[in-house]
Structure 1
Amino acid sequence: MANDQYPAPLESRLGYLLKHAQAGLARASAEALAPHGVDGHELAVLVVLSAGEPLSQVEAAGRLGVDRTTMVSLIDGLEDHGLVERRRSPQDRRKNIVELTPEGQDCLRQAEKARRAAERRFLAPLDDETAASLVRALRTLVLTERG
């Protein structure tokens, strides 16, 4: 693996490898999602909003781990494209409930399919067992970190 792009002293450092692997996956995902008019952050919002019960902007932001200002910006963009709609909560008029529109549901289905295909292509150098093991290991690290 050592060459001009990956100097030998760095190729065994976990942080270096994770950073470059994430950058490669981000590029592949961005290319796959572009035809669907969303990026990875926007797709994450659609996924969270599709998970069941209606969520307020604040609740969705909490599930995504983003601040309220960022969430407002993401929701504004998705609303501008007709993928989500805001409505006042019947239980608390101070809260905006955000839900997918039919167009948002369709976009989510298509974009998720493209994202999964991009991930499969990214993991293609690994055999199925190794790829599944990598995903399980990363999930364990992330869930442990969240505590």
Structure 2
Amino acid sequence: MPSTVSDSASGSRAGPGRQSENAPGPDSPGTPDGPPPWTAGGAATTTAQPPAPPRPAASRRPANANGHFSEPARERPGIAMCRATALVARTLDEVLSGHRLTVTQRLALKMLNDVGPCSQQELSAQLHIDRRVMVGCIDGLEDCGLVRRERHPRNRRAHAVMPTPEAGPASAATEGGVPRPLDRAFGALTAAERRTLTRLVGEILGMG
């Protein structure tokens, strides 16, 4: 009597319509869809991960037409004064560019015409301008023939800056073009506010 081979002995044999116990089923980890995630205990987990919450849109501060320092300028008088000074200096530079003078040179000429010969140190102290800047300022005025350096009449060890005859007309020529641009620069202030500003600045500079 021929012996029969059992399914257990043949291992992978299966008859038609039968599926071997070892063949991968549709839900087994060997499907083409890839292995499912496994937990630490070895069992497949079917819990779906919740979708990531949408990222909030980045907040943007509105663009400020007055620049970065507009807010600090309202809170810190030093920043406000620096910005106002720069505004006035730019306005005067535009006026004086046609006369080949800088703001510092115009101030020095005006003081020399008003009070007479002064030393560079006196000009620096009265106009609150750095001495090194004043040296360059006087050098430029001397090159233009508007001032000359001579022995100080009251201090023979020092030199005085003296205006030449051409200094007066040169300074006067700049006066007519200055008021209107300055009116635009201070246009946000009333006449009373301008007087108050002048008084306050004078107190800051020790002229009150």
Check if 1:112 corresponds to 2:175. Answer: yes
Question: What is aligned with 1:13?
Answer: 74
Amino acid at match of 2:205: R
**Which among 56, 60, 68 is matched to residue 123 of structure 2?**
60
State how far apart, in whole Å, the 2-side matches of 1:42 and 1:82 are. 13
Greater Cα shift, 83-92 or 37-46: 83-92
1:66 is paired with a residue of what secondary structure?
A: coil
CA pair 134-97 structure 1, distance change in 2 beyond 3 A: same
Higher helix share: 1
Deviation at 1:144, TM superposition (A): 2.0
| Runs of at least 4 residues off by over 6 Å | none
Question: What is aligned with 2:195?
Answer: 136
Q: Name the TM-score, length of structure 1 as normaliser.
A: 0.78
2:114 is paired with a residue of what secondary structure?
A: coil
Identity over the aligned pairs, expressed in percent?
Answer: 33
Check if 1:4 corresponds to 2:67. Answer: no
Q: Which ranges in structure 1 are unaligned for 5 or more consecutive residues?
A: none
State how far apart, in whole Å, the 2-side matches of 1:73 and 1:60 are. 13
Deviation at 1:66, TM superposition (A): 2.5
Question: What is aligned with 2:157?
Answer: 94
State how far apart, in whole Å, the 1-side matches of 2:174 and 2:100 are. 9
State how far apart, in whole Å, the 1-side matches of 2:164 and 2:100 are. 15
Amino acid at match of 2:168: Q
Report the count of equivalent residues: 141
Deviation at 1:124, TM superposition (A): 4.3
Greater Cα shift, 14-23 or 71-80: 14-23
Q: Over alpha carbons, which structure has the higher Rg?
A: 2
Asked if structure 1 preserves the Cα contact closer than 8 Å seen for 2:117 and 2:163, the reply is: no
